[in-house]
Structure 1
Amino acid sequence: MMCGCDDKLLQAVYETGFALDEATLYLDTHPNCPIAMQYFQNARRMNRQAMKAYEEVDGPLQVADADSNNWNWINGPWPWEGGMR
């Protein structure tokens, strides 16, 4: 069951993922912009940190990140159980 802190962790994943996507799109049209590349690298680092913080509390966000020794992908709440907001 998700507590309020989990909502904040997931929100950080969404926000940093959005920043990463926007930086990627900008770099597609401005590949030689050093400021954009620096922004992209920072957004990527922040997104990885946000994902790691969320996964430490609630488990993997993507099936590819499920533990290979223990099928923990199914341990969290399903969308109809409040797993997605």
Structure 2
Amino acid sequence: MDLLRKIQELSFIAIELTLYLDTHPEDQNALVQYNTVSQQLNALKQAYEQQYGPLIAYGFTPSAYPWQYINEPWPWQIEY
């Protein structure tokens, strides 16, 4: 649960920084923050998916043959 919460927090920060950078593209400090958050977010997503399975079922996570997503519990079936 803590890992998922941290992913949500970093996702929120990344979205806010993206919106800010859309209007302030020359803010180098914000860009550094965005890149740092993006790297942290990707690392946490990878750790989560290795332990619990894909966060998103379309286009972002490769699957082995045969299709694997159906074999994982649905998000609402995971007990925290």
User: Is 1:34 aligned to 2:50, yes or no?
Assistant: no
The answer to whether 1:10 aligns with 2:20 is: no
Question: Whose helix fraction is larger, Structure 1's or Structure 2's?
Answer: 1
1:8-42, Cα deviation, whole Å (9 max, x unpaired) = 11112111111111110110110000001001100
For 2:12 and 2:34, locate their aligned partners in 1 and report how far apart those are by CA, in whole Å: 11
Alpha-carbon distance in 1 for matches of 2:40, 2:16: 14
Asked whether 1:70 is paired with 2:66, we answer: yes
Larger relative contact order (C-alpha < 8 A, sep ≥ 6)? 1
The range that moved more, 60-69 or 22-31, is 60-69
State the alpha-carbon separation in 2 of the partners of residues 21 and 70 from structure 1.
34
Rounded Cα–Cα distance in structure 2 between residues aligned with 1:82 and 1:68: 22
TM-score w.r.t. length of structure 1: 0.79
Which sections of structure 2, spanning at least 5 residues, go unmatched? none
The count of aligned residue pairs is: 78
Mind listing any 5+ residue stretches in structure 1 that lack a counterpart? 1-6
Query: For residue 43 of structure 1, what is the amino acid of its counterpart?
Result: V
Seen in structure 2, the aligned counterparts of structure 1 residues 80 and 14 have a Cα distance that, compared at 3 Å, is closer
Name the Cα RMSD after superposition. 1.9
